[in-house]
Amino acid sequence: MSTPLPLSSQPSVVLSDVSFVWPDGTAVFDRLNLALGASTYSLIGANGAGKSTLLGLISQRLRPASGSVSISGATSAPEVGIVPQDPQSDPESTVSAALGIDGIRSAIGLIEGGSVDADDFDAVGDDWDVEERAIGLLAQMGLPTDLDRRVGAMSGGEATLLSIVAALMRRPSVLLLDEPTNNLDTSSRAGLFDAIGAFAGTVIVVSHDLELLERVDATLELYRGRVRVFGGPYSHYREIVDAEQEAAEAAVATAAGDLRKQRRELVDAQIKLDRRARTASTAEREKRVPKIIAHLRRGEAQVSAGKLRNAHQDDVAAAASRLDGAREEVRKDRTARIVVPEADLASRTQVVTDDRLRINGPERIALVGPNGSGKSTLIADLVAREAIVVPYAYVPQQIVFDNPSMSIAGLVSAHHPDISTQEVRSHLARFLFRGARADRALEELSGGERLRVGLADALLGDPTPKLLILDEPTNNLDLDTVSQLVAALELWSGALLVVSHDAGFLDRIGIDRRVEVGGSSPELAPDT
């Protein structure tokens, strides 16, 4: 399918016939063409579709096997700024060093002290206002403006924002952001949104954050090695794809009906031919017609029958081919569903008995608040104090496996030794790990698959958990997996306690109360 024209008539990112293959032979792109102008784009697609690879090619950190990637911008040597999903900085370095401005600040200090060394002036170039720019960007992001502060004193969300500031300090013409809202609280997200909105060049952001996805000018979908450009935010893209999928599903139904019809006609034709053959054989045996004429008729009938049979078989093959083609257009993400167990929790059952947080019956509670306010600490304390008085399942923010080489089925069986292998595999199938998929090694799993393993492992037990606790469950998930999780939680009949900064996700799962955590105790507030 051809790529629509970009929003800008002067594209700043152009990929021409780009092919890329990993060293193990895995092909990601084959003659990919894409042109993007100076606008804000989201890049969406399933885990493993190649989003990070595409960002690597645009940033020119990866080289294509063939084809070309060109970047243009306001400067003669346009730069691409890229912020990875989990940016890492030396915890002992300063903010100034992380921003890459130590050398310029040092040269300015020397010049102000009387240096006339040409190297110092070359180091500064046109960046005499580097400190003011850095402080301004830090303040815009809601970060402390102390350039000599240690990076190690920052939270994970602050480290992500600092990496974005570092990229902006280089005045790039193209800015690439990979899941920038992970670990960001509400105020930090607002700073990020403002920075993206103020950026004059091309922004490409990989995200599952619906609020961010609604702020873009266009949506790029990476699917089966091709990129489609949809002129509008995620909701516009979803409307188009949903309509296409409804048509595709209708086409499958039509093609399946046609195949059944062609098969019936083939059977009917075969029955008719067999009946004719029996009648002719009986006539010849009873000598109703001369032998030579009977032989001629038999030969003609066989030729005619062969043509008729072949015609019907061709019709069946054509109908089967149309059905295969129609099924190919139906996306698996629309049919894959996570099935959670039945919790069977009465409405007045005490679930959590603590003065800081009380839950009765199948309530849906969200713990919200700024980073560092103690949301995860509160959950850990409730567990330690045994304030949770029903069986519960807990899925942490970081799902870490002690033995990454173990299979999915092996891990779950090891954690539940009293449950038979058949029951374990049946349970895993409800979380989309059917058959051989349950034998995959844990180290091979994507973020969404790791979450499904964590859910399956936590929810398998006797008795069935009545409370499900999720800590930032949407981090590192693609949109399809988020939708699968939302659909599963909509059917969850137990109590639900969720830590999340993703307001869109909380709205979709039908939160009853938001509990603001901060200060000496959480403030309980009804959902509004």
> Phi, psi (5° rounding) for residue 49?
-70, -20
Report whether 386 contacts 398 (CB < 8 A). Answer: no
CA distances to 123, 170, 189 from 137, in Å? 21, 12, 14
Largest CA distance in the chain: 126
Cα gap 397→379, rounded to integer Å: 12
Report whether 207 contacts 181 (CB < 8 A). Answer: yes
> Helix 156-169 to helix 186-198 angle, to the nearest 10 degrees?
10
Question: Torsion over CA of 134, 135, 140 and 143, rounded to 10 degrees?
Answer: 100
Report whether 14 contacts 34 (CB < 8 A). Answer: yes
Give the pLDDT confidence score for residue 520 in this predicted structure. 46
Place of tokens 């008795």: 463
Closest CA to 500 of 326, 375, 394: 375
Give the pLDDT confidence score for residue 6 in this predicted structure. 41
Question: For residue 30, what are its two tokens?
Answer: 């084959």
Q: If you ran DSSP here, which 8-state letter would residue 502 be given?
A: -
Segments in the chain below pLDDT 70: 1-11, 73-78, 88, 273, 275-309, 312, 326-327, 329-330, 332-336, 519-528
Question: Torsion over CA of 282, 287, 289 and 292, rounded to 10 degrees?
Answer: 100
Place of tokens 């006539």: 283
Closest CA to 65 of 34, 93, 96, 25: 25
| Number of helices (H), then strands (E), in the chain | 16, 17
Closest CA to 447 of 48, 31, 37, 17: 48
205 membership: H or E segment, kind and range: strand 202-206
Beta strands in 418-500 (DSSP E): 467-471, 495-499
Give the pLDDT confidence score for residue 87 in this predicted structure. 72
Cα gap 518→520, rounded to integer Å: 7
Closest CA to 499 of 382, 343, 402, 361: 382
Question: For residue 190, what are its two tokens?
Answer: 């607002």
Question: Torsion over CA of 462, 488, 479 and 514, rounded to 10 degrees?
Answer: -90
Give the pLDDT confidence score for residue 279 in this predicted structure. 64
Written as one letter, the residue type at 131 is E
Q: If you ran DSSP here, which 8-state letter would residue 341 be given?
A: P
State whether the Cα torsion 110-114-116-117 is positive or negative.
negative
Question: For residue 413, what are its two tokens?
Answer: 């069986």
Give the pLDDT confidence score for residue 319 in this predicted structure. 73
Written as one letter, the residue type at 455 is L
Give the pLDDT confidence score for residue 524 in this predicted structure. 46
Report whether 206 contacts 43 (CB < 8 A). Answer: yes
Give the pLDDT confidence score for residue 297 in this predicted structure. 52
Written as one letter, the residue type at 9 is S
Distance of CA 519 to the CA centre of its chain: 34
Q: Beta 392-395 vs 364-368: how paired, if at all?
A: unpaired
Written as one letter, the residue type at 488 is A
CA distances to 61, 102, 161, 284, 477 from 167, in Å? 15, 15, 10, 92, 24
> Helix 234-285 to helix 291-328 angle, to the nearest 10 degrees?
170
Predicted TM-score of the model (pTM): 0.69
Report whether 406 contacts 412 (CB < 8 A). Answer: no
